[in-house]
Amino acid sequence: MTEASASRRQDWGRWFGRPGRSLTRRLIWLASAWILVALVVAALVLTQAFQESALRRLGAMLNETIDEIVVGASRTPQGDVVAQIQDARTLRLLSGKYWQIMEVRPDGRLVSLARSTSLWSYDLTLPPDLPDRLDAAFGDVITFNTTGPKDDDETREPLRVAASMKSIPRHEHPVIFIAAIDRSEVDADTRQFARVTWTALLILGLGLVSAVFIQVRIGLRPLFDLRDEIADVRKGKSARIGRSYPLEIQPLAEQVNRLLDHNQEVVERQRTHVGNLAHALKTPISVMLAEAGTTQGSLPELVRRQTKVMQGQVDHHLRRARAAARAAHGLGETTPVAEVLDELAVMIEQVFRAKDVEIDWRAPDSLSFLGERQDLQEILGNLIENAAKFSKRRVRVSAGGSGLGQMILVVEDDGPGLPADQRDTVMQRGARLDESAPGSGLGLSIVDDLTRAYGGRLNLADSDMGGLKAVLELPAAQAD
């Protein structure tokens, strides 16, 4: 995966990933959820309102038909009930508009007294509880849905029905006047309205979500810029926050700069104290060594040995204090690794010219150590010098980034190596497994302490060259 594609995936995850702890995702997801709920409710309400409006129009038409039936209904001398309705659709067979007059018998049965020509010999399908509902609302009109006699592709036509119970002269039982009309067109219009409404609201929703995304992206862009600048300071790309920000977050940027300045001041003060302490201790120690060197005997020799130990310990702790101060500062320099390796290789090859030591090193030009040059020189210098000291002839050094803001440096030699049970011992201050070799025994201890001060690690292992392999992990400055 290329760096550009990884960056695009990170941006996509930032904007559209799961909310989690991201302010951006929360704003986008909450706004999108609210827009979605609001538009769904709006679509449902509009569709329902349109359908109810259409059904009210049908209901008004059916009420007029019932009024015509009531006015036109009469009783013949033979006792039959008839009705004269001047509506062409009710005179055409299965036209989709029907009427019927029914009688409620004492046993609750419904008996048809008259029907429209359009019904032919069919009866309208009515709910069983209709007589009771009409009796409770005597004289009022009740509307409901049912199916009609027309059978189209095994689907019965949907009807909107209006019914009312009334009394007619010279008729002893209550009479139910029923009018029905095909509501297929209303249902089709409702579906069409729903499709148009949902499509329009979907487009509106996408537009609103896009507007929210753009608004959040533009509105929070200064926060992302501030975050990136702080990351650049932490990675050593810059020393301070230099951009101007909106009024709401400019005070935060200024406070961060003040904090950086304060940290720099503290580090410089620590460096000054460490330097003063070094000068204050080195002079008495040097005097003690000089005085002890002019006198022979067991006491002067003891003083010389202990003074050298004191000098080594002072140098060690002062060096560690300087490194810890710089590492804690978090804003150290960026040091090109290749330059340091080139300098050290030339110098150490000259030191061990008698052994004809060859140092083969490889490091990318873009690789940089997130720390000060002096510390990297001391870390690598001790490791390479130690490898050259115990090697037969060859020392190999390789460096590269790990992709996690760290870099890996490997120093190997073709010497006798070091048993696994002795590797922890050589990391201790003053430990020397070979007393015949020159040195103070602080080399690997210094490397380990400086590495830990920068949050890194040092591991010892067997090299495929036959000797010891030192694997060093240190913070790396991110390349632009």
pLDDT tens-digit series, residues 61-108 = 999 888 888 887 777 666 567 777 778 888 888 888 899 988 887 777
Neighbour tally for 53: CB within 10 Å: 11
What are the start-end ranges of the E strands in 135-280?
141-152, 155-166, 175-182
Q: How many angstroms from the chain centroid is the CA of residue 399?
A: 33
- Contact yes or no for 401/474 (Cβ under 8 A): no
Residue 304: pLDDT over 60: yes
Distance, first Cα to last Cα, the chain: 18
Give the separation between CA 56 and CA 44, rounded to whole angstroms: 18
3-state secondary structure of 117: helix
Residue with the larger pLDDT of the pair 292 and 331: 292
SS3 at position 125: coil
- Is the predicted pLDDT of residue 15 greater than 90, yes or no? no
> Considering only 24-33, 240-249, 469-478, which range has the smallest mean pLDDT?
240-249
CB 154 within 8 A of CB 59: no
Q: How confident is the model at residue 4 (pLDDT cuts 50, 70, 90)?
A: very low
Is 334 or 30 the better-scoring residue by pLDDT? 30
Whether 101 and 114 have beta carbons less than 8 Å apart is answered as yes
Q: pLDDT tier at 479 (50, 70, 90 boundaries)?
A: low
Q: Name 194's Cβ contacts closer than 8 Å, sequence gap at least 6.
A: 43, 47, 50
Sign of the CA dihedral with 411 first, then 417, 420, and 423 last: negative
Mean pLDDT of 11-26: 61
- Dihedral in degrees, nearest 10, Cα atoms 467, 471, 472, 476: 130
Beta bridge partner(s), residue 115: 100
Confirm if 409 and 380 have CB atoms less than 8 A apart.
yes
Distance CA 138, CA 295 (A): 134
pLDDT at residue 326 in the model: 57
pLDDT number for residue 475: 87
**% pLDDT > 90, the chain:** 20
Place of tokens 């009309």: 181
DSSP state letters, 357-411: -EEEEE--TT-EEES-HHHHHHHHHHHHHHHHHH-SSEEEEEEEE-SSSEEEEEE
Give percent of the chain above pLDDT 70.
Answer: 80
For residue 294, the 8-state DSSP code is T
The confidence band for 433, taking pLDDT boundaries of 50, 70 and 90, is very low
Q: What are phi and psi of 163, to 5 degrees?
A: -140, 145
Lowest mean pLDDT segment, chosen from 118-127, 247-256, 294-303, 464-473: 294-303
pLDDT score at 215: 86
> What is the per-residue pLDDT across 277-288, written as a single tens digit (0 to 9) for each?
766 777 777 777
- Position 328 scores a pLDDT of 52
The residue-averaged pLDDT of 48-58 equals 92
Q: Which range, 235-244, 332-341, 356-365, is most confident?
A: 356-365
Mean pLDDT value of segment 204-208: 93
pLDDT exceeds cutoff 50 at 463 = yes
Residue 137 · residue 105 · CB < 8 Å: no
Integer CA distances (angstroms), 106 to 142, 215, 401, in order: 21, 72, 98
CA dihedral sign of residues 7, 11, 14, 18: negative
Residue 399: its pLDDT value, please?
92
Q: Range with the lowest mean pLDDT among 20-29, 71-80, 122-131, 297-306?
A: 71-80
Q: What is the pTM of this model?
A: 0.52
- Is the pLDDT reported for residue 438 higher than 60? no
129-137: average pLDDT = 87
The separation between CA 162 and the C-alpha centre of its own chain, rounded to angstroms, equals 57
Identify the pLDDT of residue 431. 45
Helix (H) or strand (E) holding 413: strand 406-413
**The Cα angle at residue 260 between residues 402 and 475, in degrees rounded to 5:** 15
Q: What average pLDDT score do residues 359-387 get?
A: 88
Dist CA 233 CA 20 (whole Å): 26
pLDDT of residue 49: 94
Average pLDDT rounded to a whole number, residues 409-428: 80
Q: Which of 380, 394, 289, 416 is nearest to 349 (CA)?
A: 394
pLDDT of 437 reads 45
What letter does residue 428 receive in the DSSP assignment? Answer: S
Mean pLDDT for 225-244 is 78
pLDDT of residue 398: 92
- More confident of the two residues 275 and 131: 131
Please give the helix or strand (H or E) that residue 29 lies within, else none. Answer: helix 23-72
> What's the confidence (pLDDT) of residue 143?
92
Q: At what angle do helices 250-293 and 184-235 cross, to 10 degrees?
A: 30
| Residues present in the chain in total | 480
| Positive or negative torsion for Cα 234, 235, 240, 242 | negative
Stretch 270-278: mean pLDDT: 70
What confidence score (pLDDT) does residue 153 get? 59
Task: Count how many Cα atoms sit within 13 Å of the Cα of residue 218 in the half-sphere of its side chain.
Answer: 5
Give residue-wise pLDDT tens across range 134-192. Answer: 888 888 999 999 988 877 656 788 999 999 988 776 667 778 899 999 998 999 999 99
112 DSSP β-pair partners: 102
SS3 label, residue 252: helix
Residue 114 has pLDDT above 80, yes or no: yes
- Under the banding of pLDDT at 50, 70 and 90, the label for residue 409 is very high
Name the DSSP class of 78: T
pLDDT (0 to 100) of residue 41: 95
Mean pLDDT of the chain: 80
Tokens of 157: 């036509």
> What confidence score (pLDDT) does residue 439 get?
43
Instruction: Find which of 136-140, 218-222, 237-241, 324-328 is predicted with most confidence, using mean pLDDT.
Output: 136-140
